[in-house]
Amino acid sequence: MHNPKSSDKEELLTTTPAARELEVSSQRVIQLEQQGILKAIRTATGIRLFRRGDIERLKRERQEAKR
């Protein structure tokens, strides 16, 4: 679901690919959204979309917290 006119940080991922990127379950991604840790865009049909830049930011934060 990549728009070639947008930057990679604007690429949108659905819940399952976002979960793969973060190495967590899809349910955990939904929990992160519900907790306000990860922002989702909702489509008219209710599908959650996550910006790649937000996923990358959270990955970095998690890696820094492990140090």
The pLDDT value given to residue 10:
85
For residue 61, tell me if it sits in a domain.
Answer: yes
Q: Residue 42: which CATH number?
A: 1.10.1660
56, 14 in Cβ contact below 8 A? Answer: no
For residue 8, tell me if it sits in a domain.
Answer: no
For residue 3, tell me if it sits in a domain.
Answer: no
Domain count of the chain?
1
The pLDDT value given to residue 4:
46
Q: In Å, how far from its chain's centre is CA 67?
A: 22
* Domain that residue 20 falls in: 14-66
The pLDDT value given to residue 8:
60
Write out pLDDT tens, residues 7-60. 565 899 999 999 999 999 999 999 999 999 999 999 999 999 999 999 999 999
Q: Please identify which residue in the block is written with the tokens 């819940």.
A: 15
SS (H, E, C) 21-35: HHCCCHHHHHHHHHC
The pLDDT value given to residue 53:
96
Contacts of 31 (CB under 8 A, 6+ apart): none
